[in-house]
Structure 1
């Protein structure tokens, strides 16, 4: 019976999630050539190509899409089993900072599984804008921070995900057709806000800020009420909003990097949580 090594699967999944072999190499702590070799080994094991060769971006073959689904489930079960068998060795409090949209969407399920596997670890979660979180991390307020980065980044942190940015509006209103375009945004130094204003100015599209809120829930409530449109990371777009694209006259917004940052000399509990988030955040 053929066995698929979890280290190869982890590299494969991380390559898909980060969107490039270079970022995957940073995430798994290997060189880019080592990551490429692991992918070739995995392809040799299953006797099928996983990625479309010659594509500028990471693009999966049909076999790659099938393996990605199985790989995520296999790694999640592996990590949960390992954590359940070694909970007594990890204890203490972890101070985690993360953007509002992730604490409201993806992180609750991830942190819930971590807590069940590590019952002696207590979690203190704080929400804020990414740049504020990184500043507070430097001041010693956090053990871990999940933060957005505008572009490839400056080498800080561990890349865990490359997120497409998506325009969203209300399905019950037509504010997206108005000019100046009414915007619902967070206050500075919000990365989404900076990207939106820079893109609209570059395209010569008139805009006005119709509503400002520092919380993810406040922004969604304003969008659903028809106060304006906003931009969200693709994985955090909830039900009950309308996605807007080039067909509606909206410019492409590119992608943002999601990175996990550790405090200097973190405790074992913080290291374990950082690895768990990096492997689970998709």
Structure 2
């Protein structure tokens, strides 16, 4: 039996993996559920491996199915980009973009609106999370590209934008003066968490990480309650909160750089075009 991977079979398989049911996948690819089931069977026979576990609630991927999913997504991205480029039909397809949670509100509306105006046939899936989680998703090829926060080492060519980290508190309380200082920080492996702790320890200021989470909404809720202060990039500070002045007890924090990372060494045309749009827009926001 031929071992060539058929594009239609792969597209159906990805639809099943994303919807977790044969019925919804059939609607997505425009086939009957029976036809979708036959396509899966054909793909399993060709690879000589089970790809799906069928349950009462739908389907889950087997270990072999999980392995195929990453390859299938990569093949489809390259296929769709090649068809659009050679046919002159313009860019189309799906692009998976990661953005640090603290930049989402400030940057994403401008980025997505401008790109949609140039390429209306492209669907952009957005995943917001702290930088270490974005890097994990890139390593698994679950994202095509991501904006990444990095230490500002002065490599101007690689950094799109520099953002100072700042202490942030409620406008109507004195959380910054409490002893020990109560902090609401992102995940322990993020730059803001590490640098906040390092600077306070160097200054000899007692502190306690009262709340740690990768969810920006949770951090902001704690700060708004007046129970703790947070560390954010300056662009991410909401209007109802305030940047706290630095002092000997609240030391100045470093600046982070914002750069682009890809999941592939040679990204397809669609991904490169989105990256170019990021390079044009992000520095000016």
- TM-score, normalised by the number of residues in structure 1: 0.65
Task: Please give the secondary structure, in 1, of the residue aligned with 2:194.
Answer: helix
Question: Is 1:230 aligned to residue 230 of structure 2?
Answer: yes
What SS is found at the alignment partner of 1:201?
helix
Cα distance between partner residues in 2 of 1:238 and 1:228: 16
Match of 1:134 in 2: 135
How far residue 135 of structure 1 moved from its aligned partner, in angstroms, is: 2.4
Report if the CA contact (8 A) 1:88-1:120 is conserved.
no
Q: Deviations over 1:225-264 (max 9, x none)?
A: 1011111111111200111122584211020111111222
What is the alpha-carbon root mean square deviation over aligned residues? 2.0
Secondary structure of the residue aligned to 1:192 is: helix
Q: 1:243 to 1:209 in 2, by over 3 A?
A: same
**1:114-125 correspondence runs (5 A):** 114-125=115-126
Conserved 8 A contact 2:115-2:277? yes
Q: Which residue of 2 aligns with 1:220?
A: 220
**Structure 1 residue aligned with 2:172:** 172
Larger Rg: 2
Q: TM-score, normalised by structure 2?
A: 0.64
CA contact (8 A) 2:212 2:219 kept: yes
Gaps of 5+ in 2: 1-87
TM-fit CA distance, 1:201: 0.8
- Which contiguous aligned blocks of 4+ residues in structure 1 show a shift greater than 2 angstroms? 246-249
Residues 192-237 of structure 1: CA deviation (Å, up to 9, x unaligned) = 1011011111111100012223211211111111011111111111
Q: Is the 8 Å Cα contact of residues 200 and 249 (structure 2) preserved in structure 1?
A: no
Give 1:44-123 correspondences, 5 Å limit.
88-123=89-124
Deviation per CA, 1:160-211, whole angstroms, max 9, x where unpaired?
1111111110011111111110001122222210110111111111000122
SS of 1:217's partner is: helix
Q: Specify the alignment match of 2:240 in structure 1.
A: 240
Task: Check 1:207–1:195 CA distance in 2 against 1; reply closer, same or farther (3 A cut).
Answer: same
Give 3-state SS (helix, strand or coil) of 1:105's partner: helix
Alignment of 1:154-169 (within 5 A): 158-169=158-169
Contact 1:211–1:227 (CA under 8 A) maintained in structure 2: no
Q: CA deviation at 1:151?
A: 3.3
- 1:279 correspondence with 2:277: no
Deviates more, 1:270-279 or 1:239-248: 239-248
Give the secondary-structure state (helix, strand or coil) at the position aligned to 2:243: strand
